[in-house]
Amino acid sequence: MKSKSKQKQQESEKKQHIIQNNRELTQCKDECEQIKKQYLRALADYKNLEHRVEQERYRMRDAIKRELVERLLSILDNLDQAEVFNKDPGLQIVNKSFRQYLDEFGVSEIELLGTDFDPSKAEVVEAIEGKQDNIIIEVLQKAYKLNGTVIRHGKVKVSKKSIQQKN
């Protein structure tokens, strides 16, 4: 009899041991799942950070490029003005190569003369009476764009059919 009761006790202890092991196993699985979720969240945060840093890098590069180009445009204006007064072939070569360099950089001149006035590309300095309304008749300062975005508005004179004078 003792052996049967001893056997039952051993079976009971085994069941308790199995139950305890199952609890520990479930607890380990839950902890593992939590750690996995934390890892996936951290990985997603890291990828988002990488993306933001990359975007910021491009934004900074574009801002620096824009600032450089804006400064170079004043040099181009000076070269154009010098070419008006001095027909030196050397100056023409320098001006042409400088324009090619800017073109490679993504800079292009916006043609304004003879077009309808567009406030996104130019600002009116003076309105002169003419046959048509809002046509650019003279460009005082050229307009430029960098990779399709206007970086300098032109300064222009436009025609107006009738100009009323204020007294």
State residue 2's pLDDT score: 61
User: In Å, how far from its chain's centre is CA 124?
Assistant: 29
- Token pair belonging to 119: 């406030």
Query: Which pLDDT tens digit goes with each residue over 37-89?
Result: 999 999 999 999 999 999 999 999 999 999 999 999 999 999 999 999 998 99
Region 107-167: CATH code = 2.30.22.10
Residues facing residue 127 across a β-bridge: 158
For residues 102 and 166, give the distance between their C-alpha atoms in angstroms, rounded to a whole number: 44
Domain ranges of the chain: 1-105, 107-167
pLDDT band for 112, please (50, 70, 90 cuts): very high
State residue 5's pLDDT score: 82
- Token pair belonging to 97: 């190569």
